[in-house]
Amino acid sequence: MRNGLSTLASALLLAAFSNGVHADFLADSHASFETRNVYFNRDFRDGPSTQQSKRAEWAQGLMFKFESGYTPGLVGFGVDLLGMVGVRLDSSPDRAGSGLLPVRSDGRAASEYGKLGVTAKVKVAATELKVGSLMPILPTLRPQDGMILPQTFRGALLTSQDLPGVVLTAGQLDRVKGRNDTSYEPIALNNKNNRFATNAQGAHLNLFGVDRQLNDNLKLSYHYASLSDVYDQHFVGLTDARPLAAGTVSSDLRFFSSESQGAAKAGMISNQSLNGMVGYAVGGHKVSVGYQAMIGDSAFPYVEGSDAYLVNYAQIGDFAEAKERSWQVRYDFDFERLGIPGLTFMSRYVDGDHAQVAGKTGEEWERNTEVKYVFQSGTLKNLALRVRNATYRSSFSRDADETRILLTYTKALW
């Protein structure tokens, strides 16, 4: 698979440049520079004295992104580039492991690290094939992008919008590069709290999806993912938003069905996840309630290092243990209504019980608060300051208090 993808990517790039770099290739291109400064502090409130009591690091991420246009003709060729550098600002062996920086064999965080993503692309009408470094955002796979550098995958992804109101997706990925890693590794199963027999690796992850926009408000989705010899997963989702009285009511309903696949390297997987969120927004305020139920004999499976597409996936916990039931109440406010555009506030509380962990029944809860401000004009336009705080308590996992401070800035170069 690796040699095949490399050969295909090289062939696409060669075809692109043998056609000549036409004005469309450059004139339709875009480039941007992004900087992320992140402070991460997770204070564990319990656990054995032999375990790490705190993870606290400060780091800087720099990213250059280039997206070309396409060469002319029935078949257009192009290329995307993503250069990334992470720099340590503060860390120590007793506080490392936050996920911001790679940790070396001596327990110290690397002083700096870098990685490069190259993606060849081909387009015919409204159908596009990308081969190389990818960050597909799908219900069945959502790369983690909340630290200084994002998680990326290697493979091929086809996206078609030739049918009105329909988006078709198909692809195969064979390697993943973690957010704080510099090399590609096999794609593995997330095994939080040892909920499966092992964090088994698959030779590839197959993806397929159909998204249908039924009208301006209503969208229906079906997606499928298969991590070879680990699990198969089906997803059906529905989102809707429509006016009600003086405001807008929104709904987001999600259902997953997951089963062991092939050699079942992680052991038996049998999970159905029913979860959804309903919200009402009016006058800058939005109140939402969510519910999430894990049905079946196992926890919810998803790719290691990625974000689970669950309504109760929070800052620390995912509330996805076998048999677990969880609910959420959330409040959002947009201060533009008070004459402060760019300032937003969010607070939510998630509570879960009936979780089956290591043969015992447990419960957990989490409270998150976030304040974000984005400068709207002037020299600092697009500079964003985001403060995230979480309190997590559990009968089967370590209690933790966490604070993240993120300062980000994106500048379009052309």
Angle, alpha carbons 236-241-246 (nearest 5°): 160
Q: How far apart are CA 180 and CA 151, in angstroms?
A: 8
Q: How far apart are CA 179 and CA 86, in angstroms?
A: 10
What values do phi and psi take at 75, rounded to 5? -110, 120
Mean pLDDT of 210-214: 97
pLDDT of res. 21:
44
For the chain, which domains are there?
A: 1-43+52-151 (2.40.160.10), 186-414 (2.40.160.10)
Q: What is the DSSP string of 193-253?
A: GG-SS---EES-EEEEEEEEE-SSS-EEEEEEEEETTTEEEEEEEEEEEEEETTEEEEEEE
Instruction: Tell me: pLDDT of 340 over 90.
Output: yes
Chain-wide mean pLDDT for the chain? 93
What values do phi and psi take at 287, rounded to 5? -115, 130
Contacts of 139 (CB under 8 A, 6+ apart): 209, 221, 223, 235, 237, 254, 309
End-to-end CA distance of the chain: 36
Instruction: Tell me: pLDDT of 20 over 50.
Output: no
Query: Strand 360-374 relative to strand 343-357: parallel, antiparallel, unpaired?
Result: antiparallel
**Closest to 285 measured CA to CA, from 350, 217, 337, 339:** 337
Instruction: Tell me: pLDDT of 381 over 50.
Output: yes
Query: How is residue 215 written in tokens?
Result: 């009208």
Instruction: Tell me: pLDDT of 150 over 80.
Output: yes
pLDDT of res. 342:
97
Q: How far apart are CA 54 and CA 120, in angstroms?
A: 42
Confidence of residue 14 (pLDDT cuts 50, 70, 90): low
DSSP 185: B
pLDDT digits (tens, 9 = 90+) for 89-100: 999 999 999 999
- Global pTM reads 0.92
